[in-house]
Structure 1
Amino acid sequence: MTFSAILVGCSQLPEGDGDEHAVPAALADVGFAVRWASWDDGSVDFTAADLVILRASWDYAERREEFLGWCESVPALANAAPVVRWNTDKSYLAELIDAGLPAVPTELVKPGDEARWPGSDFVVKPSVGAGSRGAARFTAEATGAALAHLTALHGDGHTVLVQPYQSSVDVHGETALVYFGGIYSHAFTKGAMLGGQLDESGLYLTETLASTEPAADLRALAEDTLDAASALLGILRAELLYARVDVVRGEDGAPLLLELELAEPSLGFRHADAGAPLRFASAVRGQLA
């Protein structure tokens, strides 16, 4: 039996950034005919595919409502449109904090509201954004520059997140734990990105990545995060074709949730073992059930 799958990019990255180079072959091995397409390509009938998989739709931040409308028009989208709507606004972090998860302290500052600046280095970033675009780090004394950045983001209509910078990132980076169908697959580290250079596509900051075996307490937080998010969304973990949980260590060494990526995250296949694309392909088959 043959199924059809579309991997979704955008006009700047119509076939992704190369991370999924081994995925089409793995999907073909389990019965899929695979193609790439940009989400806004009007010549493609996305409704005809057995599964449409968001992978590199990283221009959505500037066109979010248009993008979400497209998501809602695709019946076999992974992850599903309600998940994408919830997860493409980082205000979801406040919900996860309210659910009791240990996360980087986050203040949401809506247009017209005033920010309370932390007493140490901090980060200011838009609640809707991909690839760390629009995120900036400031020292505790640089409140004038931070206010100018906040004002610019508010001028573009963004709600803004203000978070204390976690200095452990400078040494240990972030740890990204990847799940397929709700089951752990692999993990990789990401070096500090703030202040880095944009990729030639202009859609994301370049990163230094490396494979890793996450410590037990990081794994436990990632598991708790998926459970809490699934409960908030009213779904089973198995309904999430992919998930990436980004965690850091706080000043006391305890793990903190930084972000939960359920819409279109890079999954780090290039820094995973050779079985990762096969596990992903199996999870794709599982979505059809």
Structure 2
Amino acid sequence: MSTATRVALVTCATFPDLWDDDHPLRDALRERGVIVEAVRWDDESADWSRYDLTVIRSPWDYVARHDAFVAWAHRVPRLVNPATIVEWNTDKVYLRDLAAAGIPTIPTEFVAPGQTWKPPAEGEWVVKPTISAGSQDTGRYAFPAQSEQAETLVTRLHAAGRTAMIQPYLRAVDTAGETALLCLPDKSGELSFSHAIRKGPMLKGPADGTIQPGDESITPRTPSQAERDVAARVLAAIPGGTSQLLYARVDLIPGPDGAPTLIELELTEPSLFLRSAPSAADRLADAILVRVTAHLS
């Protein structure tokens, strides 16, 4: 290329120099001669046409402005992951599509504004909005003792025009923890398994409107073959296929029968835990350069 490649890593005002986990990617790109700039998604002065590729990383303040964020994604040229994926994946009603495709998912009840909700009679349940980040406005409730608190959260979400989702709390979160499988393009450009981590429990009780602190200890994990098989099935069910994706994160947990169950599919702004796998940042940087070359050819 006659001029230096220029890549934007999209962030938010809270992390103007990117989230720490993305520094290895930034550094790997710079080692390859790429001009890398951290740019807020809502920076009205940003000229997105200047970049050979715009990579979404940590725009985590978009939740309260979801429609604006999706509209922004549709305006940005050469965006990865692309706007159609952003629109589909930032509202967790996508779980319906994956369940319909035969993916094992946590049974989920969606309650939109204007709909009534009857709290469960017993057990522990998670209540949260379908559009959220960092477990904000997410709570864990024991029924019937905390029914009133759970109803208060649902009412508050509905008053803000947000859809609530209710899922049984899986006790394996407290023991096995979540397994997050990170998928990046391989040398052939195909999205494939890169590395995995274990995440401890996040939810300690009812939501208070803030991001739940929880136990966010992250440790490397070798996924089981069953987990890898489910992750492959999840990727195969993504609308439009995986060739459009630069990254994917599949979050699994053992269900009541011990089999891997999908919690979330993160395709928009997931932490990639690049520090947990020494070669991951290099692999992602190389994939970005391949994408740039493809766009310029």
**Fold similarity call, TM over 0.5:** yes
Kept in 2: contact 1:173–1:189 (CA 8 A): yes
Kept in 1: contact 2:63–2:133 (CA 8 A): yes
Offset, 1:72: 1.0
Offset, 1:115: 2.4
Offset, 1:116: 4.1
Offset, 1:217: 0.7
Question: Matches of 1:23 and 1:161 in 2, distance apart?
Answer: 34
Kept in 1: contact 2:113–2:158 (CA 8 A): yes
Q: Which of 17, 34, 38 lines up with 1:15 in the alignment?
A: 17
2:194 matched to which residue of 1? 185
2:219 matched to which residue of 1? 210
1:162 matched to which residue of 2? 166
1:10 maps to amino acid: C
2:277 matched to which residue of 1? 273
SS in 1 for 2:243: helix
SS in 1 for 2:13: coil
Q: Quote the RMSD (CA, aligned, Å).
A: 1.7
Confirm or deny that 1:99 pairs with 2:101. Answer: yes
Question: Matches of 1:224 and 1:205 in 2, distance apart?
Answer: 31
2:74 maps to amino acid: E
1:245 matched to which residue of 2? 250
Q: Percent identity?
A: 41
SS in 2 for 1:70: helix
Confirm or deny that 1:138 pairs with 2:141. Answer: yes
CA deviation string 1:82-101 (max 9, x = no partner): 10010000000011101110
2:39 maps to amino acid: A
1:138 maps to amino acid: Y
CA spacing shift, 1:163–1:178, aligned 2, 3 Å: same
Q: How many residues align?
A: 280
2:5 maps to amino acid: F
1:24 maps to amino acid: R
1:171 matched to which residue of 2? 175
2:258 maps to amino acid: G
2:155 matched to which residue of 1? 151
Question: Matches of 1:81 and 1:172 in 2, distance apart?
Answer: 34
CA deviation string 1:205-242 (max 9, x = no partner): 4622111111111111111101101xxx22x3122101
Unaligned runs of 5+ in 2: 186-190
CA deviation string 1:39-85 (max 9, x = no partner): 11122211210001111000010011111111111011110011001
2:49 matched to which residue of 1? 47
Kept in 1: contact 2:179–2:252 (CA 8 A): yes
Kept in 2: contact 1:133–1:205 (CA 8 A): no
Confirm or deny that 1:65 pairs with 2:70. Answer: no
CA deviation string 1:191-216 (max 9, x = no partner): 111138x9xxx767462211111111
Question: Matches of 1:204 and 1:34 in 2, distance apart?
Answer: 32
TM-score by length of 1: 0.92
